Each structure stands twice: as structure tokens, then as C-alpha cells.
Amino acid sequence: MPRRLLTIAAVSAAAVALFVVLTLLFIPDQVLRDTVTRGLESAGFTFTATRFGKALPLGIRAEGVTIGNDRGPILKADRAVVRLSLLPLLAGRVNIAGTLRIGTGEVSGTFALRGGGKSTIAAHGIKLEDLPFFATVTGTQVKGVATVRGSYSGRATAATGALQVEITNADLRGVKIGEVPLPDAGFDTVRGALKVGGGRLTLESLTLQGEGLYVRLKGDLPVTASLPASPLNLTLELMPKPQFLEKQKFVFLLLTKYQSSPGYYQIPIRGVLGKPVIQ
């Protein structure tokens, strides 16, 4: 009896998977494209692609992708592929896997939408200057090559996981928090670690090591239904060398009230994730 039940379950799952595959095959590409466009529009984004079609057995593929908002483009990708994972589907779980090709770099991830499981994300060789997000949303000029790896389980306030970021040869120009400018600087290495748990996102450390300036950012924010509206509780520490401070003394004059000791500035960052301000 157990073997018979197992056989029935396997055949039923295979039949469902076959039905999904056949359904996708007979949906016109334009219908899928319109569905993606409307879905992003409902979230406040625009979507364009030079080519769009199916990626067998269960997926879609697009080339020349641009996603933006009312300010302009925030993401450009040479190629994007999103697939529904077949084996988890047979077990009653809905997982998707995706890849983005951005210049010479690539972002890949697996995301558990239903039935539990772990979601992962990884990126390597991503040139920050290939991401229009920084210029469009923050008005900054950012350069560097990023590597990212992370994973999480659960959703919303029940999520747990960790993310590590490393950026080499970073260069930041025109950075502002609210209306307060921060010094322009180049950094040999940027390293960061973010943890999720207990309903909070905790930035355990984000360090930027440069020849004339050392920067550290730490703090946390709650996980909310609308992440851009999450209140910030961050502290930015700046430790410039005398020569660097002299070169950008106007910026540091604006930060005088946050100077705790010679060569050490401690700046509280509040507001919300979508609109941070220096308190």
C-alpha cells in the first residue's frame, strides 16, 4: 500500500508539472511580456526589453533589459533569465531561479516562494558603474567591482539569514545623506556583513579602507511590510588622516558638530531607508 500511494503521488506530481509546461508553451510571448510589464507597473516600475521570450522548460528570457521608475533607469541587464524549478515543484514547493548578466558580471539566485526552503543570492564581477541605480536614485558617482553572497529562510519578520559584500577599488563621489555632503574618497577594499533575524536587519559591519580615510557604518532597522519605510538606527564613523582632512576641509567643517575627538567623527543616521537623514 505505501508503495502504491507513493507511485500515485509521483504520477500526480508529474502530471501537474507536465500541465504547467504545456500551458506555458502555448502562452504567446507577448502575453507573458505584458504580464511582466503590468506586474512591475503595479509596483511603480517601468520595464523594457529588446528581446523577450520563453526559456524552456519553465521560464522566460529577456535581453537588453531596462527597469526604471519616474526618475529614470535603476537597473540595466544584457540578459535576464527566470525559471520555475521543476524538481521542487514535484514536491509541492514553488521555487524560482534567476540570472542577470550585467556587463562582465553576473547575479544569480534561487528564491523559495511557497513550501519553505532556503533562498540564495550570489554576484561576482559586478561593476558598480554599470548600475544606474546610484546615479538615478542617489545622484552619486560610484565605481568598484562587487562580490556578493548570501542566503535566508522564512519571510517577513520570520526571516533569518546573512549577506556578505566585498567591493574592490571603490570610488565614491557626490555622496549625500539628506542635504549633508560626505567626503569624496577612493577605497582599496569595502567589506560588509548583514544579518537578518528577530524581525530586524542588522548591519554588523561595513568598513571602507582607503589611503586617507577609514569609514565604518553599523546599526539596524526593523523588517516591515514596506522596507523603504523602515526607520533607521545607524551610526557612521569617519576617521580621516590629517592630509585628507585638509584637502576636504570644507566638507569636514560642515560635520564639525559630529566630531567626538581629533580625527574622529560619529554621525547618527535616522529617517527611513527610502529617505535617510543625518540627525
Residues 271 and 173 in one domain: yes
- Looking at the fold, whether 184 and 119 belong to one and the same domain comes out as no
Q: Same structural domain for residues 194 and 243?
A: yes
Q: Are residues 181 and 267 in the same domain?
A: yes
Residues 258 and 149 in one domain: yes
For 185-240, write each residue's pLDDT tens digit. Answer: 999 999 999 999 988 999 988 999 998 999 999 999 998 767 778 899 999 999 99
The three state secondary structure string of 121-184 is EEEEEEEHHHCCHHHHHHCCEEEEEEEEEEEEECCHHHCEEEEEEEEEEEEEECCEECCEECCC
Q: Is 2 helix (H, G, I), strand (E, B) or coil?
A: helix
User: Would you state the pLDDT for residue 5?
Assistant: 47
Domains: count for the chain: 2
Query: Do 169 and 220 reside in the same domain of the chain?
Result: yes
Where b means 16+ CB within 10 Å and e means fewer, 225-260 reads: eeeeebebbbebbbbbeeebbebbeebbeebeebee
pLDDT at 6: 47
Given 90, 119, 139, which residue is the final one in a domain? 139
Q: What is the predicted pLDDT for the residue at 88? A: 73
Q: Which helix (H) or strand (E) holds 20?
A: helix 2-26
| pLDDT score for 90 | 67
Cα 185 to Cα 244: distance, rounded to the nearest angstrom: 9
Same domain, 105 and 195: no
Same domain, 26 and 65: yes
Residues 219 and 188 in one domain: yes
Which of 114, 139, 164 lies at the terminal end of a domain, its last residue?
139
The domain containing residue 102 runs over which residues?
A: 1-139
pLDDT mean by block of 10 residues, the chain; 279 residues: 49 53 66 88 91 85 93 94 79 85 95 83 96 87 95 86 95 89 93 93 92 94 81 95 93 94 94 86
Q: Give yes or no: residues 273 and 154 share one domain.
A: yes
Are both 186 and 123 inside the same structural domain?
no
Same domain membership, residue 208 and residue 154: yes
115-141 burial, b at 16+ Cβ within 10 Å, e below that, comes to: eebebbbebeebbbebbbbbbeeeebe
Residues with Cβ within 8 Å of 198's Cβ and at least 6 positions away in sequence, in order, are: none
CA-to-CA distance for 121 and 151, rounded, in angstroms? 6
Contacts of 178 (CB under 8 A, 6+ apart): 271, 275, 276, 277, 278
Of 139, 159, 188, the residue that ends a domain is: 139
Euclidean distance between CA atoms 76 and 131, whole angstroms: 7
